[in-house]
Chain A
Amino acid sequence: MVSLGGRSSGPPPRPVWAPAGLDLDRPNAARVYDYYLGGAHNFAADRAMAREAIADWPDLPLIMQANRAFLRRAVRFVVRSGISQLLDLGSGIPTVGNVHEVAEAENQDARVVYVDRDPVAVTHGQALLSGNANATIIQSDLRDPGSTLALATATGLIDLSEPIAVLLVAVLHFVPDTDDPASIIDRYRQAMAPGSCLVICHASPDQQPRRAATHQELYSRTSTPMTMRSREAVAALLAGFGLVEPGLVLMAQWRPEDESGLPRNAQRFPGYAAVASRL
């Protein structure tokens, strides 16, 4: 957004660039998420909001970890199934359980492009990934598939004629209905080669409606308000994709690696996850 500043008799008004990520007085979703995961890439405003959220919903850090655990399982799954390029949309600050580390552990040649619109997350990611030839981060808004795909392709790490895994993990609930997430996903779908797949994890109020409502209310103060969606609404976003077993399920139920307690308590971790293949 461009707004005009400047004094009446001074120099011509100039646009003030104030991306949400640089406003340290307001909580930022990427940094709050980092706090939930126990990171220190955050500031007082982020922590204040995170603590307020945790006070109402103590499981939040665990839920975020479960989400990261799903991400790791899903990345492992898609790389093992032969996909060697990944596009992580809305990656945030890529710290804990990095996609590229998981992917490279399975396939040395796996390539990862992270995408985020937050300049701080991008700057941080660039520092983290410097020296890594197979992973990079670009600044783009995933709601603009055209630009995002163009920039991602321009890195040289992504070839859209080959199968690709597009990751939309814990980010679509920051895309309101007014932005028409279904058509955004469809734009990506059309760009994806046959054999590609989509990894999705989406917050939902289905299991804990009251806490979810309070949580959404908290986020409405940030520059990234949340739109949690029902299972039905999330399923509707996956039109044109075929679901990989076990389909669209609670995140802890998606191909658990052991019975360490999470799958049995799957209701504690609300939010739906799926890996979907492009039809």
Chain B
Amino acid sequence: MTDQDVSSGIGQGSDPLAETLAGTLARAIAEAGFALMSLAEIEDLTRGWVPELLHVLEREGADLEPARRIGMALVDANMTNPGVLETALEVLLDHLPAGRWSSTVRAAVAAGYAAGLRRATLAEQEQIAGAIIIAYARVDRMARESEARFRALFDGSAVGIGISDRTGRVVQVNQALATLLGYTVDEMCGFWVPEMTHPSDPPEIWDQYRRMMLGEIDHVRMEKAYYRKDNAVVWVDLTVSLIRDDQGNPQFAVAIMDDMTDRHHLQATLSHQALHDPLTGLPNRSLFAERIAQVVATAGPQSRMGVCYLDLDGFKRINDTLGHDTGDQLLITIADRLGRCAEDRGHLVARMGGDEFVLLVERSAGMGQLAALAEAALAVVAVPISVGPHRLRVTASIGVVECPAMGADLGDILKAADVTLYRAKAAGRGRWLAYDPGTVAELVAGYELCAALPDALERGEFSLVYQPIVGLSDGRPWGLEALVRWHHPSLGLLTPDRFIGPAEETGFIVQLGQHVLREACREAAAWRERFAGGELFVSVNLAVAQAHEPSLVDEIKRTLVETGLDPSQLQLELTESALMSTAGAPLEALRALADLGVRVAIDDFGTGYSNLAYLRSLPVHALKLPQQLVGGLRGPADRSKIDERIVDALIRLAHAIELTVTAEGVETQAQAEQLSALGCDSVQGWHIAKPCSADQLDRVISRLGRAPHLPGPRAEPKSS
């Protein structure tokens, strides 16, 4: 083998010693704790080293550099664990010939290893230190850039930024904040945050600030007012954030303030607008409701409150005749007067809408106080008002409610006040009335029904039932009284006594009456064919207001034509008070109708105060005796017979002026027999037949045809 061959260290695999040594060395290294490479990879290395080493060993005194290079190669292969060197040297000791030169060579390997390790260590330390320095420089540049950015942000920000330390002392503010509060930056540094109060601060904001400085919370956001240096007030949208140190302790608080003074004023204006009436400037319904809610919320068991619900009388007429501008001026004046009247006494006045106002007594001393207030309000309203060329006198009606404040309900109070106001109007206007719980249930019901009537008609909630009127002379049905029923969606089936009163009060009775008349006529027109052997008339109630309608006659004529009903088959029932109190037009209308052939009956005869002398001049064909009278007939048991004598007298009277008599409310066979004996012409009532719907009429009429429960035809009817 030449020097050249040996120094190259390649291609020596044929040398058995070298091959054995390389394998042994590789295994020893792996087992000494070198897991970075596979055994094959380690062997690749050792095979490169061993021939060189053997070459040096063979030539005592030769250059030791190859041996040192092997030591260095160990380091280069990352075999920096000193245990690896130790193992390698032991293997060499075991496998190489003993002797001084051999020791020298092994020492050279160790020296090379040490030198390599030192070189690598220095290089790596230099690398890592250099990396640290560069990283520092980079980080420092980032910090400076960040600081510059922060500076720009802080100085150039349009929002105010302030920083305070742990003690609450302001340490830094930007120009925007200084400008916002009217100070210089220098003036503001040194401010103490807890002193920057404003009376509008809710107590919890300072509690939150304290908790933040204790580190319990990290962010607070609120709207807050500050005094400027010139004592003006600015409102800001304030966000305060806590900055903690590395240990997590509170270190700084950063406040960011956005001026929202304009927005605040706008909100205040809007919220005033939301709670006040634009025309009069008075509080509106919402504010009134809010105030009531407050009163109720803070009420003790003894607290009382009261309201005067005021409505101008005849305001609509003023509006209609003098124009809305005049109406508005009037309302403004009234509002102003009521405002002063109430505020002098420390009460709230609100405009509830239209010409309705309410005065609220939050702590009522009793009805006396409310009465005095109502009187005062009526008095200020009554003072004549000049609007342009007009000098107006108006009156008002007031409903007064005084009640315990605890648990009071706004809706109930308003309803009670409204109902009471309604009563005051009905009682003649220009006055106040106190809420009377005794009458109210009835009133409230009627009041609510009133409001529901028009819709009910549109929705077809009214229907007609028919109650037979049976002739006592022949036991046959003569006619049927049409009665109206209301299928109320929540109250169920209502009889007229529940809603005719309210309908009359609102005037809705006219529409309802027309509806009933048309329906009844349409139905009755079919009866001629439907029920052979007798012409049944239909009897329809006519309200007073209907009788006053100028169009009544035309209306009925048209209805008769449209339905094809013969006028003789229609009977109109009017109460005697309606007939007696009316004169002029209604009477003429009745005459015109009578001339057409329509029958007119006086309903509930004997319950009013009839002018009997007048009675004979009226265009009337029949009287109807009410249930109150008929009910008094108790047959033979009635010893006094007073009721019998009254009924007897009325029947005689009627017959004297050639009127037929129908007794209503007949409930027993005895009554029917007694009426028959007294000469009464016809009867109706539950004993005869209950009211039934049109489609049930066939069955009822045919049953009545058999008439098993009537006294039977008399031989000589008195009326004939």
Contacts and interface: CB of A to CB of B under 8 A. Distances in A.
Indicate whether A and B interact: yes
Interface of A: 3-4, 6-9, 12-17, 19, 21-22, 24, 31, 37-43, 61-62, 65-66, 68-69, 72, 93, 95-97, 119-124, 127-128, 256-258, 260-262, 269
Interface in B138-174: 138-140, 142-143, 146-147, 150-151, 154, 163, 165, 169, 171-172
A262 B244 CA distance: 50
Given A14-B150, A37-B36, 18 more contacts: A3-B245, A4-B243, A4-B251, A13-B172, A15-B147, A17-B142, A24-B132, A31-B128, A38-B78, A38-B81, A40-B122, A41-B125, A69-B37, A72-B36, A123-B138, A127-B130, A256-B38, A269-B35
Nearest to A119: B135
A123 B131 contact: yes
B143 A17 contact: yes
Contacts of B78: 37-38, 96-97
A107 to B, nearest CB: 18
B120 interface: yes
Contact of B128 (A3, A122, A124, A258): A124
Residue from the set A22, A120, A257 with the largest chain B CB neighbour count within 10 Å:
A120
B27 interface: yes
A62 B143 contact: no
B327 to A, nearest CB: 65
Contacts of B138: 119, 123
Given A61-B81, A96-B78, A119 B143 contact: no
A80 to B, nearest CB: 15
Contacts of A12: 150-151, 154, 163, 172
B37 A124 contact: no
A41 B127 contact: yes
A97 B79 CA distance: 12
Interface string B251-272: 1101000000000000000000
A260 B244 contact: no
A17 B146 contact: yes
Per DSSP, chain B at the interface is: helix
Contacts, number: 132
B80 interface: yes
Interface in B72-101: 78-81
A156 to B, nearest CB: 22
Given A4-B251, A14-B150, A15-B147, A120 B36 contact: no
Given A123-B138, A260-B30, A69 B35 contact: yes
Contacts of B142: 17
B638 interface: no
A261 B31 CA distance: 7
Contact of B38 (A7, A22, A69): A69
A136 to B, nearest CB: 15
Given A41-B124, A69-B37, A22 B132 contact: yes
Contacts of B80: 38-39
A15 B143 contact: yes
A65 B139 contact: no
Given A3-B245, A17-B143, A17-B146, A8 B35 contact: no
Interface residues of B, number: 52
Interface in B230-280: 243-246, 251-252, 254
Given A9-B189, A12-B151, A12-B172, A120 B34 contact: no
Contacts of B289: none
B175 to A, nearest CB: 12
B154 A97 contact: no
Contact of A40 (B27, B124, B143): B124
Nearest to B154: A12
Contacts of A122: 135
B31 A39 contact: no
Nearest to A259: B39
Contact of A68 (B36, B121, B128, B131): B36
A136 B289 CA distance: 74
A21 to B, nearest CB: 7
B157 to A, nearest CB: 12
A10 B143 CA distance: 17
Given A40-B121, A65-B36, A3 B132 contact: no
Nearest to B79: A38
Interface string B564-593: 000000000000000000000000000000
A196 to B, nearest CB: 26
B143 A3 contact: no
A42 B35 contact: no
Nearest 10 pairs of A and B residues by beta carbon = A38-B80, A40-B124, A260-B39, A65-B35, A124-B131, A123-B131, A257-B38, A119-B135, A8-B171, A40-B121
B136 interface: yes
A65 B34 contact: yes
A27 B229 CA distance: 53
B135 A120 contact: yes
